[in-house]
Structure 1
Amino acid sequence: MPLYEDLANQFIADIKAQKLSVGSRLPALRTMAKQHQVSMTTVTKTYDYLQQTGWIYAQPQSGYFVTNQHVAGQPSHSAFPTIQINNIEQRDPKAFAPDNGYNPTSTLFTPLGTSMIAPELQPIQELQRCIKRVTRRASKQLFEYPDAQGEQTLRSALASHFQYEHFGFLGDELVITNGCIDAVRTAIETVTKEGDTIAIGSPCFSGLLDLLVGLSRNVIEIPVQENGIDLDYFESVLQQELVTASLFSTSNINPTGLTLPAKQKQSLAQLAAKYQTPMIEDDIYFELSHQKQQDLPTKHWDKEDYVLWCGSVSKTLAAGLRLGWCLPGRYFDDYLAKHLATGFGVNGLMQSALAEFINTGDYRRHINKTRLMLIKQVNQYRQFLIKHLPSNAKISLPQGGVVLWIQVPKLNCLELEKAALEKHIDMRSGACFSTHDYFHDCFRINCGWPLYDSLCERGDKAVNKTEVYQQLMSLCEIISEMISTR
């Protein structure tokens, strides 16, 4: 074992044993080199390894700090907000939607509400260069309808990109769409009809619930808790033939940040084949893992092609590109026909620009950088909330993605949402993520914007706090006031 890896494993053992607590600072590089009598190169490799495996994060101008981990003995803040569904019930999501819908459209935009990464953290210049190069080469592309299935260059680029992550498929098996929600919508319309019932995870992304309302589909919610999805509950639904299809997010799930274990993903693929029931996999956060090893999607284990895998660059790169995809499996012909019936393809110029961005290596470099950045930011948000929320608050430990899921007992989060909007703060109450009243004391916040600028110091010594920091502080003050008056 290389020396740097041996040193890293010593730190990992200390973190697991809680000899190094969450948020504690590691020795400076020179101090570490002196203490262990090793070179600066070895120390740098040690810290790089710990960052890439998700055990520490770097804070500019301050050093390296221990991240949050799922280890024994964590404080109560790390406990996952859980639910218990006792009865299988088909429900019309339209009948249980909050007043403003599951995904309320606010008259204002603030960073805590919408799940996304701050534009200033995106590779704007690199993407602009790709668009300019493609535009200079474009001729007929600007004046012709694009390939109905999607430009071959992009489909091939995506196939090569994901093959690097050991998830292999052919470009000819893909259909390019206008973002992930469009891919999911087409999948729903391909394998179900109005009035059908679809099994969904609970809590479920609010945008999917709104989509199901618009498509007049009913739902049965399948609990997704800290140890993953309730497979026994799901299989009982399949056995009783209560659903026509299922719709699950499986990696870095919004709003919890949970990733289903590989064995559960494999089981989902097997259940889809066993009961010949299509599964739509919304995997938009697939590439935003906080771990070094990229998880594989359920589609990877789909030997009978019952899984329709949907993804996009809307969360990883730029929502405005409106580029997504679906790997429809055995439903390819019907999916493509449905896709054609609702449009004339996807912007060919933007498809070519994304293909260029992937093929140059800029996209992979961006993803690797973004994952490290999210580890740092999500940990900063968690530490802030642990410090400023009531001691009985429960805060999720995301395995990926850009959001935190918080439960504060006795808090009415619909009232919190209204009070926050009065102070021009956008956030999402737990009511947005279920047709049931299980999450009335939960809410979700986005962690995609920095709390501090790059020049700040850590914690109480911070001198350059961002506007988002002030908004999060105001939100915590509202919660404290609401709790104290109950």
Structure 2
Amino acid sequence: MQFQYQSLAQQLAQRIFNGELSRGQRLNSLRQFAQQQQVSLNTAKNCYELLEAQGLIYAKHKAGYFVSHEGQQDHHEILLPEHPDFKPKTRQVSNLELQIEIQQASIDSRLIHLGSIQFSPNFVPVDALRRSMQRAMKHSRPEDFLYSDRQGHVRLREALSAHWAEDGFFIQKDDIFISNGCMPALSVLIQCLTQVGESIIIPTPNFNGQLQLLAALKRKIVEVPASTEGIDLQRLEQAMRSSGAKVCLLTANYQNPLGFCLSNADKEKIAQLAAEFQCFVIEDDIYAECSFLAQRPLPIRYWDKQGYVLYCGSVSKSLSPSYRVGWFCLTPRLQQLRSQFILRNVVVNTPLQLGLSDLIYSRAYRNFLNQLRPILMAQVQQYRNFIVQCFDQVELRLSCPEGGYALWLQFPEQIDGLEMYRFARDQGINIVPGKVFGEDNRYNNCIRLNAGHELTDEIRQAIMCLADWTRAQLKHCA
């Protein structure tokens, strides 16, 4: 759990980012703040010191504490992206070759990382991971060096079950399957629940990696409109009722690329729709632990009463993508297919599973998340402010995520995101064009940027380069 001073620091940080507290504004004294929040003077001091360490406030001798961070001064002028309405219909995923090309570019270490959604390796808790791996090996048993359980080591399944219970939702260890990341987990579920040529309901714009997976598995899609506010539940209900699809694949918490987090009421409604139309919901909850708030948001699975919501995730976005450890969770409704899920699942190496279970049980993982959240919140806001500054005099619309670190940018219709992607690639910069997040060229004037790396001078120069190209294109079209 998070310490009280950390929760208070996040609340103050959010007020700074939202522009409620302006640069240079004097904060309450430590004693006043402690009285106001009904906490000890030591808790108030720790809160201010944490904000000071994050560069959000500064102390002036005999004068008190002042806001140092440049908040969202133009908060009301940053427009959110617009999104088209359309009726769901069954179709093939197109542009598979382009999807593959862009995926390969996103992991090219020679390019500046504004494409693939991953945070800086400088954030990874290497020392804590090393200690957990060493302890896991020290306390391992002889059977840990034999062929491992295809469902996953019981120790990690128990650790995950306890970890989620602390966040308010409960999944038994026997219902958890450990996989080689989230995408392999999705692949197992899709192949067990659907046949080649059948349809999967998805929100649009949707994570391009999922679209690539569905195309590779030869599944069709039924697109449902989504926006920075969430998923159009009326269209979702229409798709579940009339499309014939048996599966819906979606993310409720900090969806990629839009960054929305559905309300609890919407999550409950989706669980009810799944039961009403007997349509399984595969919930990809990979970003939930990258919340900007102290409390992780609940998944749709929490409201599932009939066993139609299958929970998936991994540590790829909250710890490191290199560890390739994820999971999927069954419900009693699918226990008769248990052997099929086990046969399709790929075994994850045991030492890594034991190391991650130690990281969770030692609370090093939760402590890391508590430290990471305010850092990500500050960093994403820094990106947003800098992007708005760079694209001055451009009619830009920009997402405002409440968690995760994906940013969705929408430009005037004259700007072609695919052309920008190719220009950026030639300049040694990686971005992802909106074209690959949906069909019918709905998002041609959009791009997605990764805000997971520190906003270095190199990345600033890359963003300025994109802005200069955009202004030149608009001038040419005028």
TM bracket, shorter-chain basis: 0.7 to 0.9
Q: Does 1:321 align with 2:312?
A: no
Q: Does 1:125 align with 2:127?
A: yes
CA distance in 2, matches of 1:279, 1:57: 42
1:321-380 CA-to-partner distances (Å, cap 9, x unmatched) read: 111111121354366433432355221111000000000010000111111110010000
Unmatched 5+ stretches in structure 1: 452-464
SS of the equivalent of 1:345 reads coil
Q: Does 1:467 align with 2:458?
A: yes
How far residue 97 of structure 1 moved from its aligned partner, in angstroms, is 4.2
CA distance in 2, matches of 1:481, 1:468: 20
Q: Does 1:104 align with 2:103?
A: yes
Equivalent in the alignment of 1:311: 313
Aligned pair count reads 455
CA distance in 1, matches of 2:47, 2:123: 26
Equivalent in the alignment of 2:374: 372
SS of the equivalent of 2:90 reads coil
Q: 1:144 to 1:412 in 2, by over 3 A?
A: same
Equivalent in the alignment of 2:61: none
Contact 1:390 1:408 in 2 (8 A): no
Q: 1:355 to 1:412 in 2, by over 3 A?
A: same
The one of 414, 419, 424 equivalent to 2:423 is 419
Contact 2:99 2:212 in 1 (8 A): no
The one of 386, 407, 424 equivalent to 2:388 is 386
Give the letter aligned to residue 355 of structure 1. S
Equivalent in the alignment of 2:64: none
The one of 273, 278, 281 equivalent to 1:276 is 278
SS of the equivalent of 2:370 reads helix
Any residues of structure 2 matched to 1:62-461 within 5 Å, and which? 64-65=68-69, 74-77=75-78, 79-93=79-93, 95-97=94-96, 99-101=98-100, 103-106=102-105, 107=108, 108-138=110-140, 140-141=142-143, 143-330=145-332, 332-333=334-335, 336-343=338-345, 345-391=347-393, 392-409=395-412, 410-451=414-455
Identity of aligned residues (%): 30
SS of the equivalent of 1:397 reads coil
Compute the TM-score of the two structures, normalised by the length of structure 2: 0.86
CA distance in 2, matches of 1:143, 1:414: 49
Q: 1:326 to 1:100 in 2, by over 3 A?
A: closer
CA distance in 2, matches of 1:308, 1:190: 12
1:150-173 CA-to-partner distances (Å, cap 9, x unmatched) read: 111111111111111111121121
How far residue 46 of structure 1 moved from its aligned partner, in angstroms, is 6.3
Q: 1:418 to 1:341 in 2, by over 3 A?
A: same
Equivalent in the alignment of 1:481: 472
Contact 2:95 2:436 in 1 (8 A): no
How far residue 147 of structure 1 moved from its aligned partner, in angstroms, is 1.2
SS of the equivalent of 1:309 reads strand
SS of the equivalent of 2:374 reads helix
Equivalent in the alignment of 1:24: 22
Q: 1:65 to 1:22 in 2, by over 3 A?
A: farther
CA distance in 2, matches of 1:254, 1:10: 24
How far residue 103 of structure 1 moved from its aligned partner, in angstroms, is 4.5
Give the letter aligned to residue 104 of structure 1. Q
Q: 1:10 to 1:448 in 2, by over 3 A?
A: closer
SS of the equivalent of 2:89 reads coil
Equivalent in the alignment of 1:454: none
Contact 2:291 2:402 in 1 (8 A): yes
Contact 1:23 1:65 in 2 (8 A): no
How far residue 291 of structure 1 moved from its aligned partner, in angstroms, is 2.0
Give the letter aligned to residue 411 of structure 2. V
CA distance in 1, matches of 2:431, 2:248: 28
How far residue 83 of structure 1 moved from its aligned partner, in angstroms, is 1.9
CA distance in 2, matches of 1:80, 1:331: 40
CA distance in 2, matches of 1:264, 1:76: 28
Stretch deviating more after TM superposition (31-40 or 344-353) = 31-40
- Root-mean-square deviation (CA, aligned residues, Å) is 3.2
Q: 1:443 to 1:169 in 2, by over 3 A?
A: same
Give the letter aligned to residue 183 of structure 2. I
Contact 1:173 1:332 in 2 (8 A): no
How far residue 419 of structure 1 moved from its aligned partner, in angstroms, is 0.1
SS of the equivalent of 1:75 reads helix
Equivalent in the alignment of 1:462: none
CA distance in 1, matches of 2:361, 2:428: 41
SS of the equivalent of 1:99 reads helix
CA distance in 2, matches of 1:482, 1:113: 21
How far residue 109 of structure 1 moved from its aligned partner, in angstroms, is 4.0
Contact 2:145 2:350 in 1 (8 A): no
Stretch deviating more after TM superposition (34-43 or 347-356) = 34-43
CA distance in 2, matches of 1:123, 1:46: 22
Contact 2:56 2:69 in 1 (8 A): no
Unmatched 5+ stretches in structure 2: 59-66
